[in-house]
Structures are given as C-alpha cells and as structure tokens.
Structure 1
Amino acid sequence: MSGMQYLRSLVFNIAMYLWMAVVGLAFAPRAIASRVGARAGCNFYARTTVTMLEAICGLRSEVRGTPPTGGVLVAAKHQSFLDILILWGTMPRPFFIMKSILKYAPILGAYAMRLGCIPVERGKRAEAIKKLLADVRAGERKDGQLLIYPQGTRVAPGARKPYKVGTFALYEQLGQPCVPVATNVGVFWPKRGLLRKRGTAVMEFLEPIPPGLDRPTFMALLEKRIETASNKLMEEAGFPVPPHPPLHGDPVAAAASQAASEAVEKT
C-alpha cells in the first residue's frame, strides 16, 4: 500500500471528526427542537461522510438487499465505524443499543441520546430492555428499527466471537421480525489503525427471520446467515476466510475460537 494512501487516510480521519463538529453544531437548534431534527442532522452527516470517504480515499460503499422501514430488530455484523455510517443512512427511524460510556462522547453522545438510543451499563442490560419494551408497548418506538450487534462488539475480518443470547431476548420479547445484516467493511476500514483502503465496502440486508422461533433455532439461523454472507462479501473483496464451524451452542469451540480470534486481532 502506497504512502499516498496513508496520507489520504490521515486527511480523511481529520476531516471526518472536524465535519462531525461542524454538522453537529449547525443542526443543534433543530435537534433541540425535535427528534426529527436530530435525525436529519445524523442522516446528513452519515451521507456526506461516506461521500467524503470515496472522494478522498477511493473507498466506495454499496448497500444490497432491502432495508427495513417498519418496526423490526436489525442484527448486524459490526467491523468498524463505517458500518454504522452506512446503516444509519439506509433506515428511516433507526436507534441503537450502545455502550453507556458513549453517551459522554462530544456531539455523538448528545445526538444519540436525543434520538432515543439506549445506553447500557455493564450488568444492567435487563433494565434497559425493560424500558425499551415499555416504550414499544406505549407506541413510542413501534415503527423504529432497533439495531443491535449480536456479537457485542467490533469483530475484525478473520476473527471469531460467539453470538450473545441477548439478541434472542430482544427478538422474543419484541415479537418482531429480525433482519440480519452482513458486511465486509472491516477489510477496507479496519477495527484498529489509520489506513482506509480503496475498494467497495458492502452492507447486505438479508432475508428476515420471522418472529416466534425458539432460542436454539433462532441463534443458529442468525449466525449462519450473517457469517455465511459476510464471508462471501469478504472473499469478494479479496480477503480469504477459512471455514469455521458455528460457535453457538458449543462452549468448548467458542472458547477455543475466542482465543484464536484474540491472537488474530493482535497481529
């Protein structure tokens, strides 16, 4: 990779954060006035930042499949900040379950809270889910798209982490379809590091999983769909992914794969 691409990546990263401050302040009056105004600011930032990424670094984005518009649970593969930017610009009323510490992030945290994203503290996930379900029953979030990362964190290409059963808890209690989302963005925008590679980063909305499945069936189906599609997208981008058995339901395999994943991420 040429030194020029590193320079372009540095320019983009500086511009991305400066632009966040500019857009955040410009849309602040509208965001204070209404949640619609806050969402407009976030949509504008996401779209323009993705355009900026292509112009500066030569990294395009592509969305495949059909983004949901009604009340659904969206379970997405998470590899970098880029998948958040792409997803945010594709759905009409998205909101996130996020780490509690993010609510203190400048601008980003204020907008996330204004949009109704749900901060979760370690050990208090049940309280957050209880509040969410009450909001759904009250109609406040009936038509929103709740985005959750079923592995709980960013996962680098080639690394493996088990799917957390908290996704099933939401799926079961919400009684809504679950839309899996696959991606290869980590091949171009890594979990760590400055470099933003040239190419096409893809987010793919997969076939929805209907409500009403039991936990083993749902978890196995969710993992199979996301991992199979993500591996195909990564191979399409030139990143060969070795075959892995499913992690869900096999604690020994999950522990061994987790250790191997940590070794991959440190390299």
Structure 2
Amino acid sequence: MTALRSLAFNIAFYVNIIVLMIVGLPLVVFGRRGVFFMARLWSGSSLWLLDKLCGLKVEFRGIENVPQGGYILAAKHQSFLETFALLRHARDFAIIFKKQLVWIPLFGLYLVGGRQIAIDRSHGRAALTQIIAKAREVLGAGRQIMIYPEGTRRPPGAPPRYKFGAAAIYAGNSAPCVPVAVNTGLYWGRRNATRRPGVAVIEYLPPIPPGLDRDAFAERLESAIEAACARINAEAVANDPRLAPVLAAGQATVDDPRPGHASREA
C-alpha cells in the first residue's frame, strides 16, 4: 500500500510542479512578489498532496524563533521534502544554487525573477567570495539567505560533514543565523521513491546572534543542529519503531575518503 500511495504522490507532485510553473508564468513579470507567491503555493499544495496521498504530515516547530528582517537560515538537509516545505514560512528569501539551473526551461525564469543567487562552483574560492558579496546585498535589503551547511543531503543519523559556506556568510555579515533541524529523511528517502506515513518534524531553533568568530559560530551551529536532529530522530522512532532500520542505516553511513566523493549508505 505504501508503494502505491508513494507512486500516486510522485506522479501528482511532478504534475503539480509543471502546471503551477505554466499557470504562474505571467506572475514572473511582477518580480520577487509574484515568484514568492507561486513558491508558497507550490509548498502548500505539495504538503497537502503529501498528507492526503501518503499520510505524511509535516509539523513545524519553533516558528517563534524566526526573527524579522534579514537573517541566515541554515538547515539540515536530508531529503527533497524540506526543500519545498521551508518555503511555507519564508517571506523574501534567496537560495544559493549552481548557475546551470538557470537554463532549465520555465524553472530558470523563476530563479531569475526571484533574484536568487547563482554561482559557478568551478571558480573555487572566487565562488565563495561571490557568495559572501551577494549575501551582503540580500541581508542588507532585509531578505533571508537559505543555505544547507553540509552542502548536500545526508541520511538521518549520518556523521555530520559541515562545510565552510554558512560560517563564511555569517562571518562576512552582521546578521543572526537560525539553525533548522529536521527528521524528514526518515520518511522521504534520498535515493528511493518511498514516502512513509507519519509526522515529519522541521524545527526552527533559537537564533545564533551575530558577532561570534567563525570557528565559534561553526561549532555552535553544528552542535545545535545535530543535537536537535538526534532528539527528533529518536522521538520519531519511539513513535514508530518501523523507522528504526532507516535510522540505523543512516548511522552506519560510510563516507568515501577520497576528496569530492559523496557518501554511500551501508
């Protein structure tokens, strides 16, 4: 039954994306306002489909921790679920993405219209310098920067692999950072089409104030996110023991020691 419900959702999910991108195309001329309206519509409709077709709800915690104005939102990344779910409470955000995505038909127009941050990863340190400069513009305008500190999806419970991007943006700006913990990977697999029923949690943690040095910030960010993820992962398994093998597989993740290689699950 779970497989059939997952299949139905996956079909509806991608049809929904295509329809919304086509229908909402005229709104792109209104710039960020039109793009963000469509982004929140996509988020809400996708969460509704996930609930109705798969029995998977998303619980948002700690909304009161989200400040007004410009801030850095640094989220744990376990699945594609949080990619659209986080848009539900975003007001005027900018996401850092590789510039090649601009050339995706229709989707690229929304990225440009929403004034997101495109970077060329092949430029190495120059790309990081570009990110910091663009982030300063976004935060200075009272907007929000959304970033995944590990740079890619990690299975729930896997050993953390935080990169320098979030800390560099924080050190180069005077803005608070809101850490975000998730356990979405227990329900939405990274490399399979299964969508398990239950209640996934996305938790906004207390903001880290500006002014820390980069190393102190990086340590505090990782500590806050990992502790909260461990707590909500354990909570999910306690409520549904069938999730225990999923968490155990993540905890047994073995990373490829060669530079530039992604992790592989045990």
- SS of the counterpart of 1:189? coil
Counterparts of 1:7 and 1:56, CA distance in 2: 9
Map of 2:165 onto structure 1: 166
Map of 1:117 onto structure 2: 116
Counterparts of 1:128 and 1:258, CA distance in 2: 25
Distance 1:21 1:263, change over 3 A: closer
Residues 1:93 and 2:92 aligned together: yes
Map of 1:148 onto structure 2: 147
TM-superposed deviation, 1:128: 5.0
Counterparts of 2:30 and 2:207, CA distance in 1: 35
Work out the percentage of aligned pairs sharing the same amino acid. 37
Distance 1:139 1:229, change over 3 A: closer
Which amino acid counterpart does residue 213 of structure 2 have in structure 1? Answer: D
Distance 1:140 1:219, change over 3 A: closer
- SS of the counterpart of 1:89? helix
Map of 1:178 onto structure 2: 177
Counterparts of 2:41 and 2:176, CA distance in 1: 28
Residues 1:37 and 2:41 aligned together: no
Which amino acid counterpart does residue 19 of structure 2 have in structure 1? Answer: V
Counterparts of 2:29 and 2:194, CA distance in 1: 35
Q: Structure 2: where are the runs of 5+ without partners?
A: 238-242
Counterparts of 1:232 and 1:101, CA distance in 2: 37
Answer whether contact 2:187 2:200 (CA < 8 A) is retained.
yes
Counterparts of 2:131 and 2:164, CA distance in 1: 17
Counterparts of 1:207 and 1:164, CA distance in 2: 21
Residues 1:15 and 2:12 aligned together: yes
Counterparts of 1:136 and 1:122, CA distance in 2: 16
Counterparts of 1:82 and 1:203, CA distance in 2: 10
Map of 1:50 onto structure 2: 47
TM-superposed deviation, 1:32: 2.3
Distance 1:139 1:39, change over 3 A: closer
- SS of the counterpart of 2:232? helix
Distance 1:134 1:219, change over 3 A: closer
TM-score (norm 2): 0.85
Deviations 1:137-158 (A, max 9, x none): 6678521110111001011113
Answer whether contact 1:159 1:265 (CA < 8 A) is retained.
no
Map of 1:157 onto structure 2: 156
TM-superposed deviation, 1:35: 1.8
Map of 1:103 onto structure 2: 102
Which amino acid counterpart does residue 100 of structure 2 have in structure 1? Answer: I
Answer whether contact 2:132 2:168 (CA < 8 A) is retained.
no
Count of residue pairs the alignment pairs up: 250
TM-superposed deviation, 1:257: 6.4
Which amino acid counterpart does residue 48 of structure 2 have in structure 1? Answer: T
TM-superposed deviation, 1:19: 0.7
TM-superposed deviation, 1:103: 2.5
Deviations 1:158-206 (A, max 9, x none): 3224211221110011211111000000000011101000001111000
Map of 1:61 onto structure 2: 58
- SS of the counterpart of 1:60? strand
Distance 1:175 1:129, change over 3 A: farther
Answer whether contact 1:9 1:196 (CA < 8 A) is retained.
yes
- SS of the counterpart of 2:39? helix
Map of 1:70 onto structure 2: 69
Map of 1:231 onto structure 2: 230
Deviations 1:94-126 (A, max 9, x none): 221123333333433331222122122224365
TM-superposed deviation, 1:134: 4.9
